[in-house]
């Protein structure tokens, strides 16, 4: 089903937009897209979308092998005129009947690690619940596949989602409201201009009445670009910064605990590792006193180095 045909109905991948669920969903963006509003900017090629498409079949094969079940090519479903679409695969039970839906995801390393830590993202859940209603099934599975960029690393998570009638009613109600706005207006509410979702939106000029939007105007001029690879690298860097901070806090916390547990002992060995907690003497220069006492020496040996400083925030 191509992009133009998808404008005639609401599909599973549209649901997070209908509900404006972070980090990517925006009902107003979907409204522009389905109304065929001319885009302000050209959509850049996203290698992560291609990666997801390429890895769908391997993810399906891994699911079938590890879960001892069968997946079949899905049938396209349509209900109530504008509800339509198809899941990635349908699950076949022991009796040979199709009774569940399967979705394959191949996110970045950081998203994969976050899913391992906190569970299934809401946008994934909404998509599966929509398909459970569309196909009238009671359960579904998501396989989250991570393939390393430089090393032959493959990891897969298989996560089950049961049908949630209350959530489905919320989804359907939001979809009906969106479709009424699509046909008769008005447009869904705008996000704040500084929202990260606006910075890469193809309709940000039409929507906000602005050209290039600066997230940090007080910090100077920033060129807003639509480059998925650069964006993902930036997101990975910020994620790594957060992991370093968390790791440092945990290290400091455990370090203080180790000092208390060691007591007067100086060296111990455990099955987890060796611990050394000894008194040491350290000599260092008092640079402030040196600068104050011999300022001319400081200027004589002062060396200037020029380089580009990278800051990501």
Give me the pLDDT at residue 141, please.
97
Q: Provide the mean pLDDT of the chain.
A: 86
Give me the pLDDT at residue 145, please.
92
pLDDT digits (tens, 9 = 90+) for 3-46: 666 788 999 999 999 999 998 999 999 999 999 999 987 766 56
pLDDT higher than threshold 60 for residue 122: yes
Give me the pLDDT at residue 78, please.
93
Top-ranked range on mean pLDDT: pick from 20-24, 99-103, 153-157: 99-103
pLDDT higher than threshold 70 for residue 221: no
pLDDT band, very low/low/confident/very high, at 76 (cuts 50, 70, 90): very high
User: What is the SS3 assignment for 35?
Assistant: coil
pLDDT digits (tens, 9 = 90+) for 296-309: 877 777 777 888 88
Cβ pair 215, 192 in contact under 8 A: no
pLDDT digits (tens, 9 = 90+) for 198-215: 877 889 889 987 544 444
β-partners of residue 103 are: 142
**Tokens 């290290």 sit on residue:** 251
Which two tokens mark 282? 């350290």
What CATH architecture does domain 3-188 belong to?
Answer: Alpha-Beta Complex (3.90)
271 φ/ψ angles, rounded to the nearest 5 degrees: -65, -20
Burial class (CB in 10 A: 0-12, 13-18, 19+), 178: buried
pLDDT higher than threshold 80 for residue 169: yes
Residue range 223-237: mean pLDDT, rounded: 78
How many other CB atoms sit within 10 Å of the CB of residue 166?
Answer: 8
**Tokens 């916390």 sit on residue:** 253
Domain ranges of the chain: 3-188
Give me the pLDDT at residue 297, please.
77
Give me the pLDDT at residue 212, please.
45
Give me the pLDDT at residue 213, please.
45
Residue range 270-291: mean pLDDT, rounded: 86
Burial class (CB in 10 A: 0-12, 13-18, 19+), 228: middle
pLDDT higher than threshold 60 for residue 195: yes
Give me the pLDDT at residue 252, please.
86
Its pTM stands at: 0.69
pLDDT band, very low/low/confident/very high, at 150 (cuts 50, 70, 90): low
% of the chain surpassing 90 pLDDT? 50
pLDDT band, very low/low/confident/very high, at 219 (cuts 50, 70, 90): very low
pLDDT higher than threshold 90 for residue 285: no
Burial class (CB in 10 A: 0-12, 13-18, 19+), 193: middle
Top-ranked range on mean pLDDT: pick from 46-50, 126-130, 296-300: 126-130
pLDDT higher than threshold 50 for residue 193: yes
């Amino acid at each position: 089903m191509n992009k133009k045909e998808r404008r005639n109905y609401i599909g599973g991948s549209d649901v997070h937009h209908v509900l404006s669920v972070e980090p990517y969903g925006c009902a107003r963006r979907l409204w522009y897209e389905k109304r065929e509003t001319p885009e302000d900017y050209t959509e850049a090629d996203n290698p992560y979308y291609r990666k997801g498409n390429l890895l769908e079949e391997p993810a399906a094969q891994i699911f079938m092998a590890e879960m001892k079940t069968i997946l079949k090519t899905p049938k396209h479903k349509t209900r109530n005129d504008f509800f339509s679409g198809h899941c990635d695969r349908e699950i076949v039970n022991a009796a040979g009947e199709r009774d569940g839906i399967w979705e394959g995801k191949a996110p970045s390393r950081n998203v994969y690690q976050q899913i391992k830590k906190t569970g299934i993202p809401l946008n994934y859940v909404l998509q599966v619940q929509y398909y459970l209603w569309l196909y009238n099934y009671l359960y579904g599975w998501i396989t989250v596949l991570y393939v390393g960029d430089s090393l032959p690393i493959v990891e897969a998570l298989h996560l089950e989602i049961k049908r949630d009638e209350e959530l489905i009613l919320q989804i359907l109600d939001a979809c009906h409201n969106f479709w009424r706005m699509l046909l008769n207006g008005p447009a869904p509410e705008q996000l704040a201009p500084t929202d990260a979702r606006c910075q890469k939106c193809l309709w940000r000029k039409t929507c906000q009445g602005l050209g290039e939007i600066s997230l940090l105007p007080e910090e100077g001029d920033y060129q807003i670009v639509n480059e998925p690879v650069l964006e993902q690298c930036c997101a990975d860097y910020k994620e790594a910064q957060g992991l370093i901070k968390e790791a440092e806090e945990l290290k400091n916390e455990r370090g203080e605990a180790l000092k208390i547990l060691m007591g007067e002992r100086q060296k111990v060995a455990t099955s987890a590792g060796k611990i050394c907690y000894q008194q040491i003497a350290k000599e260092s220069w008092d640079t402030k006193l040196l600068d104050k006492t011999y300022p001319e020496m400081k200027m004589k040996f002062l060396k200037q180095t020029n380089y580009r400083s990278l800051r990501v925030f």
